[in-house]
Amino acid sequence: MSWYYAVNGQQAGPVEDAEMQQMAAAGAINASTLVWRAGMDVWATLGSLVAPVSVPTEQCQQCRKPYPVEQTITLAGGPVCGACKPIVLQRIREGLAPLSTGKPFAGFWIRLVARMIDNTITSIAGYIFQIPMLIVVARMDKQTGPDLSLLAGTGALAVLLSVGAAAYYEAWFLVKKGATPGKMILGLKVVRARGGPMTWGLGLGRYFAHMLSAFTLYIGYMMAGWDEEKRALHDRICDTRVMSGG
């Protein structure tokens, strides 16, 4: 049976039943789409038909999008769409598992809370490295005035130590635990898109990539709000994902 449908005010078709089902499953048309076939007096919405178009779907284990069953194949024990087939085959050749773990990607807000927890911990620890600078200031001769070179050097050292400690904090927890304390508290885990354990190089690189997310007026962080895999800028740079239920 041939169908006609309207998208954005433009008539399209004809398409057969099978193609109509595939379009509905893929989201190209929906219940509010106007459709018509021979024998109908007027156009009607797809959802108002007595026998609405439906097709069984399954979720691709790599991109996590639904596809009609006939448009997927089984690889590594799960369904894979045509677009992800080369990726999964490459991962199989490399001895890696598909990216999907059956757990959802962590969204922007829960990741924000986790980052705030981590920032609070590292900020408290950072105050320790400011103690030497405070001691220097306290011992300066009030008569001759502050020694600016000594003050600047002590301040720079305090900053370097604080950044180094925060980078070590980030990398150590990612390598040893797969998540920082803030993420562990909220049940989140950082994973590599290609699978495998986190390395020290990647852990340190991800910390400094965080700075780029901040330097972009925090847009790098906000990208997690609209990215389909909830990736922030530093996730894109390091090819990592943050999963819930870790």
Q: For position 246, what pLDDT does the model report?
A: 54
- Grouping H, G, I as helix, E, B as strand and the rest as coil, residue 68 is strand
Nearest to 100 by CA among 229, 239, 235: 229
Domains in the chain, ordered, with CATH? 1-55 (3.30.1490.40), 57-99 (no CATH), 108-244 (no CATH)
- Grouping H, G, I as helix, E, B as strand and the rest as coil, residue 140 is coil
Q: For position 109, what pLDDT does the model report?
A: 93
Quick one: DSSP state of residue 49? S
Nearest to 6 by CA among 31, 37, 33, 42: 33
Q: Model pTM?
A: 0.56
Task: Give average pLDDT by consecutive 10-residue segment, the chain, 246 residues.
Answer: 76 77 75 77 72 66 77 80 78 60 77 92 78 66 59 73 87 92 92 81 92 89 87 91 78
Residue with tokens 């389909």: 228
Q: For position 97, what pLDDT does the model report?
A: 54
In sequence order, what are the beta bridge partners of 240? 192
Q: For position 50, what pLDDT does the model report?
A: 47
In sequence order, what are the beta bridge partners of 51? none
Q: For position 115, what pLDDT does the model report?
A: 92
A 10 A CB-CB count for 40 gives 12
Q: For position 78, what pLDDT does the model report?
A: 77
Nearest to 45 by CA among 71, 53, 199: 53
- Can you point out the beta strands (E) in 20-126? 34-37, 44-45, 57-59, 66-68, 72-75, 78-81
**Cis amide linkage into residue 14, ω under 30° from 0:** yes
Contact present, 56 and 68 (Cβ < 8 Å): yes
In degrees, rounded to 5, the angle at the alpha carbon of residue 44 between the alpha carbons of residues 42 and 49 is 120
Q: For position 103, what pLDDT does the model report?
A: 61
Q: For position 175, what pLDDT does the model report?
A: 92
Residue with tokens 């459709």: 35
Quick one: DSSP state of residue 158? H
Q: For position 140, what pLDDT does the model report?
A: 63
Give dist(CA 226, CA 93) in Å, integer: 32
